[in-house]
Amino acid sequence: MELELKVRRRIYDLIRTFPGIHLRELERRPDIVIGSLQYHLHYLEKKRLIYSFKDEEFVRYFTRDRILEENEKNILALLRRTGCRHILINLLQNEGMNNGELSNAIGLAPSTTSWHLNKLLRGQVITKIKNGRESHFVLNEPERVAELLICYKESFLDSLLDNFAEMWDLKKARKKD
């Protein structure tokens, strides 16, 4: 009943496909005017089909068919940012990288990389380890980050992530042997 309207079904399906998507991203994808989109989002929340989560900057939307823990919502919100996602993928592959190494690996300026690293630090997804004048970064929950990346990899449309997923699966298969 709640998803009979084509536009409402499309919004719900987008949120299901892209968990953690925010309002402006939703607005760009189905070409729905903002007022109508907000109305349907409010309706879907009222009917308890979706729920929202506020991070530092955005209200992000999730479907209720898979309830995520607070830290999983936080990680997914950060994974929606390409720079943060690429940093996390690199840290999964090479734990303990510093800002310069990460900057080179992801192709962003050191200042931009630092901005993303600070977001990840505030979100408690990574930890900074000081070694003299140099800082290195490690993931707090590498398995959880990897699981979320792989579980929702289709929603990111990222070739770096595709390569990581293949490598991670091989690594897990070797551990079982």
pLDDT of residue 128: 96
Please indicate whether the domains covering 6-67 and 68-177 agree at the CATH topology level: yes
Confidence of residue 21 (pLDDT cuts 50, 70, 90): confident
Q: Is CATH 1.10.10.10 what the domain over 68-177 is classified as, yes or no?
A: yes
CATH number 1.10.10.10 given to 6-67:
yes
At residue 103 the predicted structure's pLDDT band, cuts being 50, 70 and 90, is very high
Residues 6+ apart with CB under 8 A from 92: 139, 142, 145, 146, 149, 164, 168
For the chain, the distance separating the N- and C-terminal CA atoms, rounded to the nearest angstrom, is 49
Domain boundaries, given as residue ranges, for the chain = 6-67, 68-177
pLDDT band, very low/low/confident/very high, at 172 (cuts 50, 70, 90): low
Instruction: Give DSSP secondary structure letters for 25-73.
Output: HHHHTTT--HHHHHHHHHHHHHTTSEEEEE-SS-EEEEETTSPPPHHHH
Mean pLDDT for the stretch of residues 136-152: 91
Residue 168, pLDDT > 70, answer no
**In the predicted structure, residue 159 carries a pLDDT above the cut 60:** no
Using the predicted structure, report yes or no on whether residue 165 has a pLDDT greater than 90: no
